């Protein structure tokens, strides 16, 4: 069952069948119909190996990530991208990793501006929410380089898709878990973000506060503190917060810097250590978060499958590159890990 058989059945040549199959133009409607019905009758399915071999195009994509730093989530993401790059190489997809200093909008803009349509067929970027970035993304798209956002979105912008979890839902889930698991009648809830300009962190906070206010009004929300995704900074700030508020019964770690959270929780002052530890929900299952979960220091960890995010982003870029407008972008499933289902 090959294109050849279809050609014979339809009474046309190989080339015409190919044109119809791939929606190329320059075929009379009547002929299209004949080929279509031949395909139908024979139950023809294209052999993707042969198709892949015959098209010798190479696709070149760029991943724009924050530079290597203390944020283990981002480091892990970089590994995922590198692994995907290696795997995709045999599918004629070349993935290059570029980076910008974390939180640095200006450098991100500059890096995006440098991209040349002649050696880059698409970009996946962990973005920062800001007008200049949005503008630069739009300019990139105008130049003919499609862009998808990864992990953290920029919206509204001309980016084609966002690949990541539903961060508002993540915040709501965290609130549900904490609210239902806190057993005291009242108390305070702390939030730690990396930085508010990160769209994903802002969304998580939004969802969290929404559910907290509506369903657990007896728990008081402290204003969020910014730990810059850095565990040293985070430890200092959280330590101070815990010392100042003896009655913190819940803690939501929205960003990175979990090592700092763990350290602060582990070193609570004796007066606090007597109380039950706050119900703590963190993000990203790094090795540290994993240990904190196993030791009972964290109650739950909300995680996103980075491999899937990366794979989805590459799939989307390929589709964009082939002008498949109807590519279905899916939201990466939020994963909840408790002590008993740690991977």
| Binding stretches for a second copy (CB under 8 A) | 45-53, 89-92, 166, 169-170, 172-173, 175-177, 180-181, 183, 207, 211, 299, 305, 333-336, 338-341, 343
Is 318 a binding residue for DNA by CB under 7 A? The answer is no
Closest CA to 171 of 121, 133, 206: 206
Given a second copy, DNA, none, residue 176, with its beta carbon under 5 to 8 Å by kind, binds a second copy
Using CB under 7 A as the binding rule, the residues of this chain from 24 to 83 that contact DNA are 25-28, 30-31, 44, 46-47, 50-51, 53-57
Q: Given the structure tokens 């929900």, which residue do they identify?
A: 281
- Distance (Å, whole) CA 32 – CA 20: 6
C-alpha distances in Å from residue 277, one per residue of 184, 248, 260, 295, 337:
12, 9, 16, 12, 18
| Residue 8 near DNA by CB under 7 A | no
> Do residues 108 and 100 touch, judged by C-beta distance below 8 A?
yes
Six-digit token pair at 318? 């390929």
Residue 14 binds DNA (CB under 7 A)? yes
C-beta of 88 vs 125, nearer to a second copy: 88
Sign of the CA dihedral running 11, 14, 16, 19: positive
Per CB under 7 A, which region of 18-26, 228-236, 303-311, 333-341 contacts DNA? 18-26
- Phi, psi for residue 278 in degrees, rounded to 5: -60, 145
Whether the Cβ atoms of residue 213 and residue 180 lie closer than 8 Å to each other:
no
CB under 5 to 8 A by kind: which of a second copy, DNA, none does 57 bind?
Answer: DNA
**CA–CA separation, 300 vs 342, rounded Å?**
10
User: Smallest distance, Å, CB 21 to DNA?
Assistant: 5
Nearer to a second copy, 51 or 273 (CB): 51
If the CB atoms of residues 101 and 296 are measured against a second copy, the closer one turns out to be: 296
Show Cβ contacts of residue 75 under 8 Å, excluding neighbours closer than 6 positions.
68, 69
Among 8, 9, 18, 327, binds DNA (CB under 7 A): 18
333 binds, among a second copy, DNA, none (CB under 5 to 8 A by kind): a second copy
Binding site for DNA (CB under 7 A): 2-4, 11-16, 18-19, 21-22, 25-28, 30-31, 44, 46-47, 50-51, 53-57
């Amino acid at each position: 069952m090959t294109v050849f058989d279809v050609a014979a059945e339809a009474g046309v040549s190989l080339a015409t069948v190919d044109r119809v199959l791939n929606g190329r133009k320059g075929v009379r409607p009547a002929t299209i119909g004949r080929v279509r019905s031949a395909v139908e009758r024979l139950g023809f399915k294209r052999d993707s190996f042969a198709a892949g071999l015959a098209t010798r195009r190479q696709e070149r994509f760029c991943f724009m990530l924050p530079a290597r730093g203390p944020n283990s989530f981002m480091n892990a993401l970089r590994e995922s991208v590198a692994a995907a790059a290696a795997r995709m190489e045999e599918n004629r997809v070349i993935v290059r990793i570029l980076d910008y200093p974390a939180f640095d909008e200006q450098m991100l803009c500059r890096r995006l501006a440098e991209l040349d349509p002649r050696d880059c067929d698409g970009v996946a970027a962990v973005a920062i929410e800001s007008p200049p970035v949005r503008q630069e993304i739009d300019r990139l798209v105008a130049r003919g380089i499609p862009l998808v956002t990864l992990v953290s979105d920029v919206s509204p912008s001309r980016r084609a898709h966002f690949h990541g979890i539903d961060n508002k839902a993540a915040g709501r889930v965290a609130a549900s878990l904490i609210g239902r698991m806190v057993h005291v009648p009242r108390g305070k809830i702390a939030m730690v973000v990396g930085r508010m300009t990160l769209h994903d962190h802002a969304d998580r906070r939004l969802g969290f506060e929404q559910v907290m206010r509506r369903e657990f009004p007896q728990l008081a929300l402290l204003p969020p503190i910014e730990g810059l995704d850095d565990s040293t900074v985070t430890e200092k700030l959280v330590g101070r917060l815990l010392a100042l508020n003896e009655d913190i019964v819940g803690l939501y770690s929205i960003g990175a810097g979990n090592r700092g959270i763990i350290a602060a929780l582990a070193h609570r002052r004796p007066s606090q250590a007597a109380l039950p530890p706050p119900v703590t929900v963190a993000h990203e299952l790094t090795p540290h978060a994993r240990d904190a979960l196993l030791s009972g220091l964290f109650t739950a960890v909300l995680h996103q499958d980075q491999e899937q995010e990366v794979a989805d982003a590459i799939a989307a870029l390929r589709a964009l590159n082939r002008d498949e407008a109807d590519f279905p972008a899916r939201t990466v499933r939020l994963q909840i890990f408790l002590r008993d289902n740690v991977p």
